[in-house]
Chains A and B, each alone.
Chain A
Amino acid sequence: MAPRLLITPQQFSITINRLCHQLIEVHDDFSQSVIIGLQPRGVNLARRIHTTLKEILKNDAILYGELDTTFYRDDFRKKDLVPNQTTINFIIEDKNVILIDDVLFTGRTIRAGLDAMMAFGRPKDVELMVLVDRRFSRNLPIQAKYIGITIDTIASEKVKVEWKENDGEDHIWLLTNDKDD
């Protein structure tokens, strides 16, 4: 089956804006909040959210970091995993952390991310933002607070997020693997 377009570039930018305003409602001026994007793909959304927030709030001081979860994953000894760069130049002690990933599927990456994050201090509060929530496919009791789009999928389907920074245009696609039908 051909890939199905879930989100067009126009809808994409509306969604990003909505997510930013939802964050502003809760976090006010972000003086006690930090944004952390999960490597490798969550950082695309996190960077976009961070840039958009800076534009809306005219505030360049929003703390932003990127976190790699490889060393904390539970499937490390089952796959060959190459780590990515972690860049967090602040301590998250007593801060409100907004953890950002692109697609929430089994929840295992987020579990590893929660563990990895604790190496940088004890946060006051942690929230999860994802662009795509694949419902009914969770292996762990993890839910996102801010969600771009919720979709129902089966395990053999794949969600692909394209970014204008890397792919020219913003899209979200649903890919179906014919062999598994």
Chain B
Amino acid sequence: MIKKLSVKHLLGIKQLSPNDIELILTTASQFKEVINRPIKKVPSLRDITIANLFFENSTRTRVSFELAERRLSADTVNFSASSSSVKKGETLIDTVNNILAMKVDMVVMRHPNPGACVFLSKHINAKIINAGDGSHEHPTQALLDAFSIQEKHGTVKGKKVVIVGDILHSRVALSNIFCLQKLGAEVMVCGPRTLMPRYISSLGVKVEFNLQKALEWCDVANVLRIQLERQDIKFFPTLREYSMQYGLDMNLMNKIGKEITIMHPGPINRGVEITSEVADSAQSIILDQVENGVAVRMAVLYLLAGRSDY
């Protein structure tokens, strides 16, 4: 097994090799043990300062990153766009360079524009972790999803995973497709035609428009939220109609006649893409995903902080 990542930043899954992903997942399983200890903290990153720059709303990812950073003993500063000088007209590079001038080693950034992290990585001298850039990538979510599948099924290789919902606007979908394929899983996407990117099959994924057929095919179903905040036109008539066509309920789960694992990256719109009954069922590993999120983010931070020649 390799000992260090081939990349300096975590900008997307696309840039990672299968070996990188395996190193992250193996390291994450050691951190999962750490966060279940009576004392959940290790001193590995005690000399590192991390800035969490969130230019877009987030609860889960932000709390998860903050916990991961603190459990590694890193110092953290938080920043959200709503209460910052971004509102006064400062550019992204200026904002970040000003923060880095205060000696910050790593930046965790969420930004509404696709490619914001790639852009930043070319202009500043710090390690960057993408915590979601617009509808592009959300690498740590894909890594924790892969980790959760591996934990539940023993391996990701050869598993059949269907991603259901708003594929067009979802960064989780794209990162998941890259990650699962690199680990050797078969991926299918399922959703309304209007929410399906036109050339999606060029990524090597199966496309299915009938939810029941998709569920009958798969071992794992990753259900996505409808990204209403990124939709400036109507892609489907009503939420009720979406829910009737693409919502997971117990009725449908019973019909497919086999047990599949249910995942959701959160936040859940209960009663829209998934009913409470399914989301809270024994087949659902939604809360395991959240727990694994901290372990996976600890692994990413730990591996990227890596070697420094001081």
Contact = CB atoms under 8 A, between A and B. Distances in A.
Nearest to B298: A71
Interface residues of B, number: 26
Contacts of B1: 82
B30 A77 contact: no
B42 A71 contact: yes
B43 A80 contact: no
Interface string B1-33: 101100000000000000000010011011001
Given A82-B1, A85-B33, A77 B38 contact: no
B305 A119 contact: no
Main secondary structure of the interface of B (DSSP, over half): loop
B38 to A, nearest CB: 6
A125 interface: no
Nearest to A88: B37
Interface string B203-219: 00000000000000000
Contacts of B302: 71
Nearest to A83: B30
Given A80-B3, A84-B30, A119 B307 contact: no
A115 interface: yes
B44 interface: yes
Interface string A70-107: 11100011111111111100010000000000000000
B232 interface: no
Contact of A71 (B3, B4, B29, B43): B43
B47 interface: yes
Interface of A: 68, 70-72, 76-87, 91, 115-116, 118-121
Interface of B: 1, 3-4, 23, 26-27, 29-30, 33-34, 37-44, 47, 72, 302, 305-308, 310
The 9 closest A-B pairs by CB, nearest first: A71-B42, A119-B39, A80-B3, A83-B30, A80-B4, A71-B44, A119-B37, A77-B308, A86-B33
